[in-house]
Structure 1
Amino acid sequence: MAKGKLYLIPTPIGDRPVWDVLPASNRTVIDSIDYFIVEDIRSARRFLSKAGISRPIDSLRFAELNEHTAPAEVSALFAPLLTGTDAGVLSEAGLPGVADPGADAVALAHIHGIEVVPLVGPSSILLALMASGLNGQSFAFNGYLPIRQPDRNKAIRHFEARAQSEHQSQIFIEAPYRNLKLYEDFCTACRPQTRLTIAADLLQPDQLIRTRTIGQWRKEQKPDIQKRPAIFILG
């Protein structure tokens, strides 16, 4: 029996219409899938509703894959694919498998010999890097920094040293409600000549993308980034 395919479906955030951000070709794929492996069922249903899929959402099947999913449950999610059913992976936002628990599903697909099909969509990590003016030839995505001090400042100085010695852009994310605290810690821990890019609400009408040296950031008014999805890059 032929196995199903695993489609990785990008999920934009914000208020812009879905098809202003994603290519129309994704719509054909989404409309062909009845089974979705998702980070959160409520968010997935909301996205599919905004996308205007051609079938009633209540007719679709959903299975959750997130940090609460036990390893044994992950294998069970793949039973439909092994019998020929295609599945789509949806994360909360961005690209499945990139800073996202969807990577577990993709790894299992390869183990089972299931074809993985990534669809085109925006990555806030790469969009921020594109617009930063920092090195796009060598970069590292480091995810979250430690929350507690002095571990956080120690980590910031470590990555700042890498940015300078290796000329490698260092990319970070933070929980939106802690954005300003991270900004303040960068301003405290880094040297004045180090550059910091802040990119918030990318692809939205009120997006903010700004690169300054730490010395310049210290002289400016704090950026309006609290409770807004943001990317931080040191270079």
Structure 2
Amino acid sequence: MTPGALYLVPTPLDFGVAEATDPLEALLPGETLAVAGRLTHWIAENAKSARAFLKRVDAAVGLAAPLQEQHILELPRQTHKRGDHTQDDRAARDWLAPALQGHGIGLLSEAGMPAIADPGSGVVRAAHALGLRVCPLVGPVSLMLALAGSGLNGQHFAFVGYVAQDPPTRAKRLRELDALATRSGQAQILIETPYRNAALLRALIDSLQPGTRLAVACGLALPTQAIRSARVADWRREPALAADLPLDLPAVFLFGP
């Protein structure tokens, strides 16, 4: 029996953010939709959002099996924020058993590309260990869209994920990253839970050097998308830069020289 493959299936960035009204054909390439429609086995960050995504796939291209017959395994909660790139992949090998029986398996995050700023890397490692094909499909990646729209160094950058919530610890970490960015030219990319976005933006404005460029990309690919990029001195001098940013939406924060 020919083993199935693990497909990394990107989802629209509107997922879980706003009422999904745009057809998937306008948001994802045809081949990505075709593969998603053929699959019946899934490993998902969130089972509820996976089912909602599959309903949209069904409306766009149809599903190989009805939604109630789709096999959806939800990743453990402890992997959601910090990821699973350092965890043992033995459990993930068990989850991939259907692929050894010939089934293709889709890996889904709630929005964007799985295993980038989202859980799933342990599943990918397990697939490699089992000798399965790993097939990332084409679709949106919020970090890259934000970097492209920031005006920062797209040749040398680092994703540093979340920073501490404790204000003194957070400020110290931001100053360390700012010094690294100044010394190396490397753009720094951060994210935060939406309800903490405003606090992180305030901390960035207060902690970074005046000459550092700070960019914020909110609600990427949504009708309310907003991207602002300016020197920290300008963010401090012009409150209007931040005043109407939709910080209640998922956002990517970037800074560097």
* SS of alignment partner, residue 125 of structure 1: helix
**Contact 1:173 1:232 (8 Å CA) reproduced:** yes
Q: Distance in 2 between matches of 1:133 and 1:13?
A: 21
User: Residue 218 of structure 2 aligns with which residue?
Assistant: 200
Verify the 8 A CA contact 2:194 2:248 in the aligned structure 1: yes
2:141 to 120, 123, 135: 123
C-alpha displacement at 1:218, in angstroms?
Answer: 1.2
The letter for the 2-side match of 1:225 is P
Q: How does 1:120-199 map to 2 (within 5 A)?
A: 120-199=138-217
Structure 1 contact 66–101 (Cα < 8 Å) conserved: no
Structure 1 residue 72, shift from structure 2 partner: 5.3
Q: Which residue of 2 aligns with 1:230?
A: 251
Q: Which runs of 5+ in 1 are unaligned?
A: none
Give CA deviations for 1:143-173 in whole Å, capped at 9, x if unaligned.
0011113110011001111111111100000
Equivalent of residue 54 in structure 1, options 57, 62, 66: 62
The SS at the match of 1:4 is coil
Contact in 2 for aligned 1:34/1:87 (Cα 8 Å): yes
Query: Which AA in structure 2 matches 1:226?
Result: L
Tell me, yes or no, if structure 1 residue 24 matches structure 2 residue 14. Answer: no
TM-score normalised to structure 1 length: 0.95
1:225 Cα offset (Å): 3.1
Matched residue, 1:210: 228
Q: Which residue of 1 aligns with 2:5?
A: 5
Q: Deviations over 1:173-193 (max 9, x none)?
A: 000000010010011111111
Q: Which deviates more, 215-224 or 33-42? A: 215-224
Q: Deviations over 1:36-85 (max 9, x none)?
A: 11111110000111222513211211111233479654232111111111
Candidates 57, 77, 80, aligned match of 2:95: 77
The CA deviation at 1:18 is 2.1
Q: Rate the CA distance shift 1:193–1:169 in 2: closer, same or farther, 3 A.
A: same
Q: Which runs of 5+ in 2 are unaligned?
A: 15-19, 80-87
**Alignment of structure 1 residues 92-131 onto 2, 5 Å:** 92-131=110-149
* Paired AA for residue 49 in structure 2: S
Q: Name 2:73's counterpart in structure 1.
A: 63
What secondary structure does 1:97 align onto?
Answer: coil
> CA-atom RMSD, angstroms?
1.6
Aligned-residue sequence identity (percent) comes to 40
Paired letter, 2:26: D
Q: Please identify, of 177-186 and 92-101, the stretch whose mean Cα deviation from structure 2 is larger.
A: 92-101
Between 1:98-107 and 1:17-26, the stretch displaced more is 17-26
**Residue 45 of structure 2 corresponds to which residue in structure 1?**
39
User: Does the 8 Å CA contact 1:140/1:171 hold for their aligned counterparts?
Assistant: yes
The alignment's TM-score, normalised by the length of structure 2, stands at 0.87
